[in-house]
Amino acid sequence: MTYRAEEIEALVRQVVNRVMGEERAHQTGQSSSGKRPLIDADLINQLPPNTTFSVPPNALITPLARQAALERHIQLEESSTSQPTPTTSKPAIAIGADHGGYNLKETLKKMLATTYPDHEVVDCGTHSTDSVDYPDFAYAVAQLVGTGRAWRGIIIDGAGIGSCMAANKVPGVLAAMCYDQATAVNSREHNNANVLTLGAGLIGPNLAQQIVQTWLATEFGGDRHARRVDKIWAIEKRFTK
């Protein structure tokens, strides 16, 4: 028996969808027989390019759908993590981490609450060392900063690199990965960074606290640096109109 190309694609799609459903169900403890929204490549290809698509809660997104979204420049707004918001009028410092940065996040939370009592610390997760995906938490922090709901943001993962990349995709964010006090000063004084990323696998808790304190205390230098940072914002505007 021979199959047409579209039939083969449909069969492949069914297998991928089933595997994705079983994998996500295993991760979440939910039965794969439960009805959950499915986002596949066919759906993504029907959307206008250069748009944002709000993914329904608890939806399954196939790998082909993610690839189609990248190719069509469609941003998938996922609600896989709940995003807390500031609850007081105090300036907010948003903090988040993946499983690799969880322990350091908890240490920094205590330091921030003690050292900066005039600021509200907003914990965007994760809340355990169970394996999670760092882009989800980088986005949660960066979104608060980019929309002005948080004054500054701090994100921790194993190396600090991936979270920095993810955060810098959010409009209104200038994220910098820092690994010592010198880079912390530079990212603020020269670049006016509003999100800091740290690599828990690269630095210890004492150095991390020093970096955070230095980063929060350093003012933007302005002058010639302002002109250069304005050019960074101008680049973002080219792609967000």
Q: Of residues 99, 127, 190, 225, which has the active-site annotation?
A: 190
Please state, in angstroms and as integers, the Cα–Cα distance from residue 238 to each residue in 153, 174, 185, 234, following that order. 24, 16, 28, 7
- The token duo for 16 is 């991928």
- The token duo for 2 is 């021979």
Which one-letter DSSP state was computed for residue 194? S
Distance CA 25, CA 183 (A): 42
Residue 144 near residue 153 (C-beta atoms within 8 A)? yes
The residues near 197 (Cβ < 8 Å, ≥ 6 apart) are: 138, 154, 155, 156, 157, 160, 161, 163, 164, 167, 175, 176, 177, 178
Residue 160 near residue 207 (C-beta atoms within 8 A)? no
190 among known catalytic residues: yes
Please name which of 194, 184, 197, 181 lies closest in space to residue 229, comparing C-alpha atoms: 194
Residues identified as active-site: 190
